[in-house]
Amino acid sequence: MKINFKKLLSRNETVLIFAIVIFAFVIGSKSPEFFTLANLFDILRSSFVQLLFALGVLIVIISGGIDVSFPIVGIFAGYTAVVIMQKFELNGESLLIPIVLAIVIGVLLGGFNAIAIAGFGIPTLIATLGTAGVFRGVMLSFVGASFISDIPIALDKFSTADLIKFESEAGTLVRLHVLVIPIAVITVLISLMLSRTFFGRSIYALGGGVESTRRLGISVKRTQTKIYMLVGGLSGLAGILYVSLQRKANPYDLAGSELDVIAAVVLGGASIMGGYGTVFGTVLGVLFINMIKNNLVLLGVSSSWQRAAVGVLLVIGITIQAISENRKNRQRRSATETEGE
Amino acid sequence: MIKTETAQYSVEQIVKSFGGARALSNVSMSVESGEVHCLAGENGSGKSTLIKIMSGVHAPDSGIIRLAEKEFTHLSPREAVQEGIQVIFQDFSLLPNLSVAENIALPTRIFNNTKFISKKETRNIAIEALELIGVDMDITAPVADISIASKQLIAIARATNLGVKMLFMDEPTTALTRKEINRLFQVVDQLKKRGVATVFVSHKIDEIQEICSTITVLRNGEVVADGLMKDFGAKEISKAMTGQDISTTRIAPMLKKTNKQVLEVKKLTSTHTFDEISFSVAPGEILGITGLLGSGRTELAEAIFGKYPVDSGEIVINGQSVELNSSTAALEAGIGYVPPDRLTQGLFLEQSILRNLVAVGVDSYKSKLGMLSPKKLIEVGSRWISDLSIKTKNSANPVTSLSGGNQQRVVLAKWFAMKPRLMILNGPTVGVDVGSKREILEIIKVRASEGMSFVVVSDDIPELIQICHRVLVIKNGRISREFEESELKDSLLYKELN
């Protein structure tokens, strides 16, 4: 089979890889620290939680929706799991209990999103904006509003569970967290789900056209319900891992992280109009955003500019999408013309 | 050996209303295995609603759906698919983001209730389905990138794949050339031999007579005629459809001979879309423009109004050259444009009828201080409501409260208020019932006899013959033929189109 280079070049993933390489060289040329294993592992560590959130957002965006409630769902699930552990004096040695708790809470909260979206047909942005407010309010008034620093022992220990750990020649500690394995597994599973299962293809179908999907005999409501519950579960898992990695449960955390995550997914090539997007692109998008955020300082850019930088990237990503869409439309029109002859 | 399917599908006493408006009342119809059944009727007669009920998209208010031995009060789309019912919708209902292969394979997946998907299997299903209808195409291309005719073939391949017992085709020929229609008919013949029951929906009487063996005619949601096709002539069918004797009597007003031209289009070109188009329109003249979907007719109409980008050429209004690619310039020169999709492009749906009526000319109602006087606006609005006999109790009601025909009148009034020299109407009667259609044509006629010129873009040939002084046929972005008043015959026009 011949590889179509033109097609390959026009793919979002290819563009993103180039962008990552170029940025890496720019930053690396200014600061030799960039090209160290320690820095690479740092970028990976800061990407774990974000990637889980991003995979959820990717699924929602492919289906033609948008979810802005995931950071709240994440911290709600993570914080509540810790509170439940303490209140009912559950076995603090167990890592599994808080994780399962958080996932279950996430799925439940996702279920509320599903009720609003699939049940009442509320536009996804408004629905999740609304539920985000409700979840936050419920958490702060009923679960708790105080910072918890003595999280269960297993969660606390897990933050330093490293797969690789050694001291480099320069004397810095090089650590790769064990999470890299489960996160990789989850990423591959989501990718397989999207490309190889009927449910995954229904998500793409939904993004291609709601009415067409319904006419095919695919239940739109059922598919949406599954999507939002799955995304809730992913967010819950992300939330508890965040709590563990930070070694504290702060109910005010994560709010505002939606910008980074959505920017990563859009830069990764997912169309905000729905129907398009890949897991590989999202992984690249997350790595790209984290590389930039972690290393702007090395370039001498003040950290207060990080948010602005991510915002600019998001706008650039969407602009590229809009321009290529316009160009395609023109080509399409002429293609129809010539074929009609 | 080809597997033969057996199917007997009938609906009895189906009733369906949408928000008080009755779409279907006591409709019964039945189709058998190997039968090609025609469902005919004007726009708004209830055909689409009936298809949607029979295929599970809508649930009927009452009535019975009978499939072989099974009885249903309503079907879900999934049940319908699993019972072997497939619909080819007018818009094809394909998913543009997925490949040709996947679009074809999806219904088979649903039919088989597959959970996991292999790409190889998808490929095989698609190739097999395309072979079944004798078509060869690149199955890896995304559907967004292929032509309308290919999309249609995909829709057919997808629907006629294994498992189909009952096939609905909703106006399948609208976007096709005669050659492609012949191929479609071959496919329908094959399906007939396989024992598939087919319901074929079309306005085009010659096609219906060619392919169908039985017919049901709907009018205003009721069955007004049914039986064997051979018992019906073209005249009987159109009479049943419209409820009147063939209404293609011309109503175009007499045209005064003059050398003046209101509009002159000179060598208008837009790369890839249309090429060196030249024509002119005299005062009071109604010029028709027709062509198949994708011929460039809509783009041409938009280009004259400055909405579609033009690369070269000239547009002259009353001897004055108009700036190209500018709707503002076109408006100022006295050109008005009514888009085909009035609901999304021509009206502010949630706003009041009155506000819509005065929206375009709002600048001309300003007082010296730049303020709008409500009294003045109401005066202007009421005049138009009575002039165009728009049926409403209160002009403060939103436009959505009006019927399709009345909405279209609001759009027209809005533009007439600007006193344009030339009105471009793109599909002026799409989605409008028969009675309103008549009245809209009457409105055009009256305005034309007062001296306003019209360009009417439409694919409704009888309508063009009724109202136009001349008709241009556009093919592949060029004027393929001009029909003078004396040559306006539907057979000639249809022939030129295909």
C-beta of residue B178 within 8 angstroms of C-beta of residue B198: no
Instruction: Assess A120–B contact: CB distance below 8 Å, yes or no.
Output: no
The confidence score (pLDDT) of residue A337 equals 42
Q: What is the DSSP annotation of A283-329? A: HHHHHHHHHHHHHTGGGT--GGGHHHHHHHHHHHHHHHHHHHHHHHH
How many Å apart are CA A144 and CA B393, to the nearest integer? 58
How far apart, in Å, are the Cα atoms of A61 and each of A46, A206, B28, B336?
23, 10, 43, 40
The confidence score (pLDDT) of residue B7 equals 65
| pLDDT at residue B99 is higher than 80 | yes
Q: Between B460 and A332, where is the model more confident?
A: B460
C-beta of residue B461 within 8 angstroms of C-beta of residue B432: no
Residue of chain B with shortest Cα separation from A205: B95
- Which residues partner with B22 through β-bridges? B17
Distance of CA A42 to the CA centre of its chain: 18
Q: Give mean pLDDT, residues B426-447.
A: 77
The confidence score (pLDDT) of residue B470 equals 92
Query: What is the four-CA torsion angle of B168, B174, B175, B178, rounded to 10 degrees?
Result: 100
Q: Give mean pLDDT, residues B324-339.
A: 86
Instruction: Assess A276–B contact: CB distance below 8 Å, yes or no.
Output: yes
Nearest to B409 by CA among B347, B330, B352: B347
Question: N- to C-terminal Cα distance for chain A?
Answer: 31
What is the tally of structural domains in chain A? 1
Instruction: Assess B93–A contact: CB distance below 8 Å, yes or no.
Output: yes
- Residue A212 is nearest to which of B81, B94, B150, comparing CB atoms? B94
> Which mean pLDDT values do the consecutive 10-residue runs of chain A (341 residues) have?
61 84 87 84 91 97 95 97 92 91 97 95 94 96 92 91 84 87 96 95 94 87 96 97 94 90 92 92 94 81 82 85 74 47 34
Q: Does A6 map to a domain?
A: no
In this complex, do B93 and A205 lie within 8 Å of one another by their Cβ atoms?
no
The confidence score (pLDDT) of residue A330 equals 62
Q: Give mean pLDDT, residues B252-273.
A: 85
The confidence score (pLDDT) of residue B376 equals 81
C-beta of residue B433 within 8 angstroms of C-beta of residue B221: no
Return the top range by mean pLDDT from A179-188, B114-123, B189-198, B483-492.
A179-188
Residue B254 confidence class, pLDDT cut points 50, 70, 90: confident
Chain A nearest C-alpha distance from B253 (Å): 36
Q: Does A180 map to a domain?
A: yes
| pLDDT at residue B412 is higher than 90 | no
Copy the structure tokens of residue B338. 């009514």
In this complex, do A337 and B78 lie within 8 Å of one another by their Cβ atoms?
no
Copy the structure tokens of residue A166. 């050694």
- Residue A201 is nearest to which of B81, B102, B292, comparing CB atoms? B102
C-beta of residue A231 within 8 angstroms of C-beta of residue A238: no
| pLDDT at residue B173 is higher than 50 | yes
- Interface with chain B: mutation pick from A63, A273, A337, highest number of B CBs within 10 Å: A337
Instruction: Assess B394–A contact: CB distance below 8 Å, yes or no.
Output: no
| pLDDT at residue B247 is higher than 60 | no
Chain A nearest C-alpha distance from B57 (Å): 7
HSE-up (13 A, CA, CB side) for residue B478: 7
Residues in A closer than 8 angstroms to B296, CB to CB, are: 337
How many Å apart are CA B371 and CA A136, to the nearest integer? 47
Q: Between B276 and A231, where is the model more confident?
A: A231
- Cβ–Cβ contacts within 10 Å for residue A163, how many? 12
Q: Give mean pLDDT, residues B370-397.
A: 79
| pLDDT at residue B263 is higher than 50 | yes
Copy the structure tokens of residue B80. 């319908």
Q: Does A140 map to a domain?
A: yes
How many Å apart are CA B380 and CA B365, to the nearest integer? 9
State which H helix or E strand residue A177 sits in. Answer: strand A173-177
The confidence score (pLDDT) of residue B163 equals 74
Q: Does A131 map to a domain?
A: yes
Q: Between B380 and A66, where is the model more confident?
A: A66
Query: What is the four-CA torsion angle of B124, B129, B131, B133, rounded to 10 degrees?
Result: -170
Instruction: Assess A192–B contact: CB distance below 8 Å, yes or no.
Output: no
Q: Does A122 map to a domain?
A: yes
Q: Does A275 map to a domain?
A: yes
Q: Give mean pLDDT, residues B419-432.
A: 82
The DSSP call for residue A254 is: S
Fold of B8-242: Rossmann fold (3.40.50)
Q: Between A58 and B387, where is the model more confident?
A: A58
Query: What is the four-CA torsion angle of A46, A51, A52, A56, rounded to 10 degrees?
Result: 150
How many Å apart are CA B450 and CA B452, to the nearest integer? 6
| pLDDT at residue B403 is higher than 70 | no
Residue where the block lists tokens 């064990």: A178
Q: Could you tell me if residue A269 is left (phi over 0), alpha (psi between -120 and 50 degrees) or otherwise beta? A: left
Which domain, by its residues, includes A211?
Answer: 11-334
CATH number, domain containing residue A123: 1.10.3470
- Residue B98 is nearest to which of A205, A211, A215, comparing CB atoms? A205
Do you know the residue count of chain A? Answer: 341
Q: What is the ipTM for the molecules in this complex?
A: 0.84
In three state form, how does the secondary structure of chain B look? CCCCCCCEEEEEEEEEEECCEEEEEEEEEEEECCCEEEEECCCCCCHHHHHHHHCCCCCCCEEEEEECCEEECCCCHHHHHHCCEEEECCCCCCCCCCEHHHHHHHHHHHHHCCCECCHHHHHHHHHHHHHHCCCCCCCCCEHHHCCHHHHHHHHHHHHCCCCCCEEEEECCCCCCCHHHHHHHHHHHHHHHHHCCEEEEECCCHHHHHHHCCEEEEEECCEEEEEEEHHHCCHHHHHHHHHCCCCCCCCCCCCCCCCCCCCEEEEEEEECCCEEEEEEEECCCCEEEEECCCCCCHHHHHHHHCCCCCCCEEEEEECCEEECCCCHHHHHHCCEEEECCCHHHHHCCCCCEHHHHHHHCCHHHHECCCCCECHHHHHHHHHHHHHHCCCCCCCCCCEHHHCCHHHHHHHHHHHHHCCCCCEEEEECCCCCCCHHHHHHHHHHHHHHHHCCCEEEEECCCHHHHHHHCCEEEEEECCEEEEEECHHHCCHHHHHHHHC
Residues in A closer than 8 angstroms to B89, CB to CB, are: 215
Domain(s) of CATH 3.40.50.300: residues in chain B = 8-242, 263-497
- Residue A335 is nearest to which of B93, B110, B145, comparing CB atoms? B145
C-beta of residue B83 within 8 angstroms of C-beta of residue B75: yes
Exposure letters B107-124 (e unless 16+ CB within 10 A, then b):
bbbbbeebeebeeeebbe
Instruction: Assess B164–A contact: CB distance below 8 Å, yes or no.
Output: no
How many Å apart are CA A32 and CA B327, to the nearest integer? 57
How many Å apart are CA B390 and CA B366, to the nearest integer? 25
Instruction: Assess A336–B contact: CB distance below 8 Å, yes or no.
Output: yes
Contacts of B120 (CB under 8 A, 6+ apart): none
In three state form, how does the secondary structure of B248-296 look? CCCCCCCCCCCCCCCEEEEEEEECCCEEEEEEEECCCCEEEEECCCCCC
Q: Give mean pLDDT, residues B277-299.
A: 87
Fold of B263-497: Rossmann fold (3.40.50)
The confidence score (pLDDT) of residue B432 equals 64
